Amino acid sequence: MAFPERRYPLIPAEVTSNPDIMGGWPCIAGTRVPAMQVVIEIRGGATDSEIFDNYPSIPVDGIEAVCEWAKVNAISLDPNATDNPFSN
């Protein structure tokens, strides 16, 4: 009997920074996907489905982790934001 595909990770996704991975840019843990890239995708109007299609290594709760990280770091997800997301 085959087991169904896991829909939720055992460990919640988080955004971490490691100087040895992507030059220390904050990334979704276990991936090389920079959190700011996901912010740019969200600001550009991408749906969760489109982001998952573009970055298949992101865990199912990865986008939520980026949104929480952005909130804690006062990074706007508003598509009309005029701040430079790379200035932080």
pLDDT tens for 42-61 read: 999 999 999 999 999 999 99
pTM above 0.75, yes or no: yes
Residue type (1 letter), 68? E
Multiple choice CATH, 15-72, 3.20.20.70, 1.10.10.10, 1.20.1300.10, 3.40.50.620: 1.10.10.10
Question: Does the pLDDT value for residue 16 go beyond 80?
Answer: yes
Q: How confident is the model at residue 11, as a pLDDT?
A: 73
Question: Does the pLDDT value for residue 8 go beyond 90?
Answer: no
Q: How confident is the model at residue 48, as a pLDDT?
A: 96
Residues in CB range of 59: below 8 A, 6 or more apart: 9, 13, 28, 30, 31
Residues in CB range of 54: below 8 A, 6 or more apart: 41, 46
Q: How confident is the model at residue 83, as a pLDDT?
A: 73
Could you give the residue ranges of the DSSP H alpha helices within the chain? 35-43, 48-54, 62-72
